[in-house]
Structure 1
Amino acid sequence: MKILIIEDERPAANRLRQLVLDLLPDAEIFGHLDSITSAVKWLETNVFPDLIFCDIQLADGQSFEIFERVKVSSPIIFTTAFDQFAIKAFKLNSVDYLLKPIDPKELAQAIQKFQSQQVRPGIELQQIRELLSPHSSQYKSRFLVKFGEKIQSVQTEDVSIFYSEEKVTFLQTVEGRKYILDYTLDQLEAMLDPRKFFRLNRKYIASFSAIAEIHTYSNSRLKIKLANCADNDILISREKVGDFKDWLDG
């Protein structure tokens, strides 16, 4: 059996690879591919695999774009950090999924489902995309945070940036106050209004007001300076530059 893994986080890809091989030791696994661009190129130049594991949020956008560019006949099992509402969307569309961090038992069940031919190759991408894009009323308006022994609520409009550091996610307000959150950046990205927040890279999600300076950088990338942030090496990849400029101009 030939299996393709599309996942932009190498540790997650390596773990998935090992879990799959534990269940299917004779499988031939390709990847990992970490972007829409690399996945499209691979699919256009290789025979389709028997099964694809695909993360939803890749370095250069949502992976649905891959399957809009290439008519893929392989069954696809998505891996995702999105909330339970989105998970229900996959069930409605008969597309299997695995919620990160991947549970070995759930992986075994997903593979069993694939082997019994219950996974349907045809994916109604637009329906899934719409279900994964909440209406404005469903975007989070505030976050519950802990401050010492106190618990308080921070309005989303008062948030400057969200960032990840040593596997911990932080919320930073416009005033520069920092709080630990129990969400991953992938989860936050689905909760935030994309008109107000942009995923700069794997480490940062920034509000429009947080963008202090923008500089051109090597290899057609951009270097960003954020307000009240000491990190001077925040880069936007070449693949995301266009979307970032559209966001700024929107």
Structure 2
Amino acid sequence: MRYLILEDEKIASNRLKEMIANLRPDYHCVLTLDSVESAVISLPALKLDLVFMDIQLADGNSFDIFDQIKFDAPIIYTTAYDEYALKAFKSNSVDYLLKPIDPVELAGAIAKFEKHSVKDDKDVTQLMQSLKPEGKERFVVKVGEHLKSVLTKNVQLIYSQDKGTYLFTDDGKRFLVDYTMDRVEEMLSPKEFFRISRKFLVHIDYIKDIVSYTNSRLEIMIDGFTDDQVIVARERVSDFKVWLDR
């Protein structure tokens, strides 16, 4: 198997290469790269079976690569950040490993790649669906001088206000998070959360009531949330009903 490592930390790159060599001596590392720019230049000319890819690189985010070149090789992501998991599984991902890389988890990821090393587009699509994670489990938020972990299962809705993004929990508390609404939407399980408008994401388990509203829209009642009306945008009503009735 011919593979490539995209990693901007030399020590991490060398360690990963050594771990792969111990697990699969017959695998051949074609090249190691350290930036978005070098990947965009080099990847189109290479024939690769697998890529090990960090996400945060010195000159940007590795997802920027897909905006510039067509690239189809399977990817095992190796990163220190868990918030990109959902986005990663939309881009050829076989697995998503958090640093420091555990040898057992790496062995499992490689075995998963080998088991599902298929060329047919339908098979690849089924593989991506089977591997897709269930969504972010918790958010770390700042409360004064302290950090607090908020379980996603306790979040009733998420809303934007004054250019900030807030969690509203089942105990009536609000927490500011360091993400945009678009980024939060990518992190969450689509089974549990639905983006009803640009302003609101709602958790299905906390919808107390749904009533008709003007212009064919819907209003959602959430216990304890009185800051604003939670309205389903007219263009989202149809998809929202399908989501509820699945």
With normalisation by structure 2, the TM-score equals 0.48
TM-score normalised to structure 1 length: 0.48
Larger Rg: 2
